[in-house]
Structure 1
Amino acid sequence: MTELFEKGLKVRKEVLGEDYVNKSIAGADEFTRTMAEWSTEFCWGALWTRPGVDRRTRSIVNLAMISVLNRPHELKLHVKAALKNGLTKDEIKEIFLQVAVYAGVPAGIDSFRIAREAFKELENG
């Protein structure tokens, strides 16, 4: 593994949780392993470790983009990560209201539904 992958793995575990990342890595097969390694190295190692924007701000940007792209699995994951990175439920609500205005009400509605599911999962452990 490269140094960038190792840096990315560390950040990924800090943001998404060690259990989630370990399960994700263990679940990778011959077909998906390259994508898992590539995303860890470049998304988490090359981008999330850059000093220009803090993790909280990166979470804000991710929530908006992922909700607009209609990626529910990733959105739920990043709602949980955003809370770890210091966002409040009220701030997440404001982000999704802005998504609704600029990207469409259906995107906003789905984002609220997914966030509520993420909040319940965190509350229920």
Structure 2
Amino acid sequence: MSKSDDWHKGDAMRRSLMGSATVEGMAKGVYDDPIMEAFGDYAREAVFAKLWARPGLDVKTRTLIVVISDTATHAWPELAIHLRMARRAGWSEQELSEALLHMSGYVGLPSVREGLIVARAVFAEMRGEPEGGLGA
């Protein structure tokens, strides 16, 4: 089945945010069956093509919003993805760590502790990767 214009627009945004190696890795390990492929197609069109490309906020700000949202809702696997996107968008490890720490007064220490544990693992993984910042 052919992919829509929004699918292609969303795929380009997703690759820009995550890096092609991460997208390809997820295609092989997460989106490799019909159920998850359908979810991935929907996410490309509805989230990456429609939300991430909207005017009004820059991509860097949007990445911080999802990091905060994931931490507040305890969405740990998504936090790992979105921390990667935030780093690629230009946030430093220190800035993201401080944003997480700042949330401790609002969402609680247990959530922030877990978020920082996820961040530590993502940052260490990314330091060993050849890909650079947004658009790499």
Fold agreement, TM-score > 0.5:
yes
Per-residue CA deviations over 1:75-106 (Å, capped at 9, x if unaligned) read 11111111110111221022101221111110
Cα shift at 1:124:
2.4
1:93 alignment partner in structure 2: 97
Per-residue CA deviations over 1:3-42 (Å, capped at 9, x if unaligned) read 1111000000000111111232344211211111101111
Q: What is the aligned-residue RMSD (CA, Å)?
A: 1.2
Runs ≥4 in structure 1, deviation > 4 angstroms?
none
SS of aligned partner of 2:34: coil
2:114 alignment partner in structure 1: 110
Match for residue 64 of structure 2 among 26, 50, 60: 60
Between 1:23-32 and 1:105-114, the stretch displaced more is 23-32
2:134 alignment partner in structure 1: none
Q: Which fold has the larger relative contact order, with Cα–Cα distance below 8 Å and residues 6 or more apart in sequence? A: 2
Equivalences, count? 125
TM-score under structure 1 length normalisation: 0.93
TM-score under structure 2 length normalisation: 0.86
Match for residue 17 of structure 1 among 16, 19, 30: 19
Identity across the alignment (%): 24
Cα shift at 1:72:
1.4
